Amino acid sequence: MSARTNLVINDRAATPVAHTYSPDGDAANNVHVFSEKTSVPAGNPRFTASLRKSGGKYKAQLRLQVPVVQTQVINGVSSPVVVRTAYVEFATTFDELSTDQERKDAVGLMANALAGSQTQINDLLVNVSDIY
């Protein structure tokens, strides 16, 4: 078991930017919440992680929420507003009899499938272009 600390995750910008997600409150219902602090708390990107055991299976789930905040001007009054939010989810289900190596291999395969060099998957997810 590891201690909950900051998560530092790089984006895919031309010059990658490291984003720091800090622990945000206690883990309610075994869901660990991390957020990247911004000047507009409602616009803070959030990352959650959870692990549950049910019926001989370990179920892990990661979720990322990345809101986009813009300034709205009404009658000369400026206020920040969340205009859209991107959501990304990753879930695993492993049998309690699975080995470390089986889990490493499965997670590694998925991580490599998400690499920018995997053009079919990248085009589907990033360029929203279906596979034909």
Domain total in the chain: 2
The letter for the amino acid at 14 is A
Are 92 and 103 within one domain?
no
Q: Which domain, by its residues, includes 80?
A: 7-96
Cα–Cα distance measured from residue 24 to residue 132, given in angstroms and rounded to the nearest whole number = 42
Are 77 and 105 within one domain?
no
Residue 44 neighbours by CB distance under 10 Å: 19
From first to last of the 132 residues of the chain, give the pLDDT tens digit.
Answer: 788 899 999 999 999 999 999 999 777 788 999 999 999 998 999 999 999 999 999 999 999 999 999 999 999 999 999 999 999 999 999 999 999 999 999 999 999 999 999 999 999 999 999 998
Are 91 and 109 within one domain?
no
